Structure 1
Amino acid sequence: MKSPRNKTINISVEDGREYLDRCVRLDRPADINDILDKTILGDTFGVMPLLPREFADLIIVDPPYNLDKNFGGNKFKSSDNEEYTRYTEQWLDLIEPLLKPDGTLYVCCDWRSGMVIGNLLEKRFKVQNRITWQREKGRGAKSNWKNGMEDIWFVTKSNRYTFNPDAVKLRRKVIAPYRKDGEPKDWEQTENGNFRNTCPSNFWDDISIPYWSMPENTAHPTQKPEKLLAKLILASSNEGSVVFDPFLGSGSTSVTAKKLGRHYVGIEQSEQYCVWAEKRLDLAVTDKRIQGFEDGVFWERNTRPVKK
């Protein structure tokens, strides 16, 4: 029995058959109306050739890192850099034609896989930046530093692309407030403390990995936080844009896109993960909250005042 505070979504395929039935299975080329706001059940390498060309405004890719990992019974085995390069080139070949000429691509990676992925992206796209975000937790190591960071490559097809910096400002506490003529300068004084809304940088230390008491949490081994995805989606798309995730997992990209008024398309080969994704999409109809994002700003970790 789960604790009443444990909000982890762990519905089984058997109990979640109604959610699985909502997923699309493609066996022929599709147009945008066939896939818009859908979870596609299938192997992404077989599905992507069936998708319409240049349909996506924003693509967010969270591929298997070059690590041994079990994704719902689908095991990914680590390999040498040469083999991982071939694997990465395979999905890049399929993704590139799906992105609009003015579209944006974000690719998640760790420090090791990032060396391969970054070099390949530079050959195909315009590299705009590399984001580093603090995972907040990780296993200790006796012979190395604990891995507490991950990266996200930010690339575009051209120099014409969407970027909305005002939509992703971070609200930070002001420790030493500066005043001019007795009035706050570039900060806000509230009953809950002093705050400043700052422009986003390429280092994010305000992200919490989903855990058991968060409604977005599932048993997926590498689930990305909705707060992290919200930053990418708000910055690099507009309401009504199409956001595509070819390695959907438990649905975080699609769920966050839906909460933020975007269209979504996701591909996932695990029936279990598809059930969790559709369950979360169902919940997002009535609950559009994103933990750590409120009133149009992102709050530093553990600083948002609790509303009474």
Structure 2
Amino acid sequence: MPAGKVKSKRNKTIDFTLDNSPAGVLESIKDEHGDLSQLNNIINQTINGDTFEIMKLLPDNFVDLALIDPPYNINKKYDGMDFKKMSDDDYQTYTQKWIDLIRPKLKPNASLYVFSDWTTSIVIAPILEQNFTIKNRITWQREKGRGSLTNWKNGMEDVWFLVNNKNDYTFNVDAVKLRRKVIAPYRENGKAKDWKETKSGNFRDTMPSNFWDDISIPYWSMPENTGHPTQKPEKLLAKIILASSNEGDVIFDPFAGAGSSLVAAKKLNRQYVGIEQSRLYAAWGAYRLLKAEDDKHIQGYTNGVFWERNTMTEQKAAMNKE
């Protein structure tokens, strides 16, 4: 925010500087010094440092679910650090480098989700297939950003669902059903069939697919929003965490950014370990983790159910009913 400009009271964006960090935030961040080889020294911690060096120091066989959101293969600035677009061969080498580091950290039945845009997907897909079993490619609607005068607007991103063992992995399908409005309700013998009739409308809990059109990108009036340039929504991460882990499992994020995956894990009663190179982003994440002690709410996830966009009235009614 430009100097001298006062933020609106409705603007909840977390964008403080290191010099004016809230009390307790910087103290809660772990650095690369000390013994990182013992799980009890790193559990429920954000570690500030170079992930390619820190991963070498972590214990083996501790990760139940890895959420991996590396820099996409585009030119991007991250807190003053430039990521430069590489050749396809070099980016594949970069991808294999973090895979080689993370593989020993995974439990035999672990799952991984790797985030990418469509151009990066094309490059990394062969590398992912060589190293893991690809179960699916999820596409989620990232409805944000400007359009293009010479091309279609890029409104989608990919999430690759990978497993270590194709016959042994966690997938809790009932935990990630999506509640959709029923437009033409079907009745059998006068009773609702496969849907629920409520005062707020008619709804059906549908099986999850690999296309997610119910995700809202964090924006300035949402408490989870930060100044990070490529922040992922808590709701997006909550779907993955609920589907592919159980309470008490360890979630690992080696490119943690502003901590969205760690916050979602904490809110959903999982343990977590995150690594983030930027101390500023780590501080924003640490602040969010402290707030999550008292606030477990995840936008769009109410009473154990994921809801479509623009259903806030119905979600509030469901909460009041409880």
TM-score by length of 1: 0.98
Deviation, structure 1 residue 304: 3.4
Residue of structure 2 in register with 1:123 after alignment: 130
- Alpha-carbon deviations, 1:245-274, whole Å to 9, x = none? 000000000000000000010000111101
- The code of the aligned residue for 1:199 comes to M
1:57-76 alignment to 2 at 5 Å? 57-76=64-83
SS state of the match for residue 106, structure 1?
strand
- Alpha-carbon deviations, 1:98-145, whole Å to 9, x = none? 111000000000101111221111001111000000001222112211
The number of residues matched between the two structures is 308
1:1-308 alignment to 2 at 5 Å? 1-16=6-21, 18-27=24-33, 28-158=35-165, 159-305=167-313, 307=316
Q: Bigger shift: 33-42 or 112-121? A: 112-121
Find the aligned partners of 1:142 and 1:101 in 2 and give their Cα distance.
Answer: 48
Deviation, structure 1 residue 24: 1.3
Gapped regions of structure 1 (runs ≥ 5): none
- Alpha-carbon deviations, 1:50-80, whole Å to 9, x = none? 0001110000000100111111111101121
Deviation, structure 1 residue 12: 1.2
Gapped regions of structure 2 (runs ≥ 5): 1-5, 318-322
SS state of the match for residue 129, structure 1?
strand
SS state of the match for residue 305, structure 1?
helix
SS state of the match for residue 281, structure 2?
helix
- The code of the aligned residue for 2:132 comes to F
CA contact (8 A) 2:110 2:169 kept: yes
Q: Bigger shift: 137-146 or 18-27? A: 18-27
Find the aligned partners of 1:257 and 1:29 in 2 and give their Cα distance.
Answer: 21
Find the aligned partners of 2:267 and 2:304 in 1 and give their Cα distance.
Answer: 13
Find the aligned partners of 1:175 and 1:258 in 2 and give their Cα distance.
Answer: 36
RMSD (CA atoms)? 1.1
- The code of the aligned residue for 2:197 comes to Q
CA contact (8 A) 2:36 2:42 kept: no
Find the aligned partners of 1:117 and 1:32 in 2 and give their Cα distance.
Answer: 30
- 4+ residue segments displaced more than 4 Å: none
Deviation, structure 1 residue 18: 3.3
- The code of the aligned residue for 1:244 comes to F
SS state of the match for residue 19, structure 2?
coil
Deviation, structure 1 residue 26: 2.3
- Alpha-carbon deviations, 1:213-256, whole Å to 9, x = none? 00000010000000000000000000000000000000000000
Task: Sort the Cα spacing of 1:144 and 1:44 in 2 relative to 1 into closer, same or farther, 3 A.
Answer: same
Find the aligned partners of 1:149 and 1:29 in 2 and give their Cα distance.
Answer: 37
Find the aligned partners of 1:254 and 1:163 in 2 and give their Cα distance.
Answer: 20
Q: Bigger shift: 73-82 or 171-180? A: 73-82
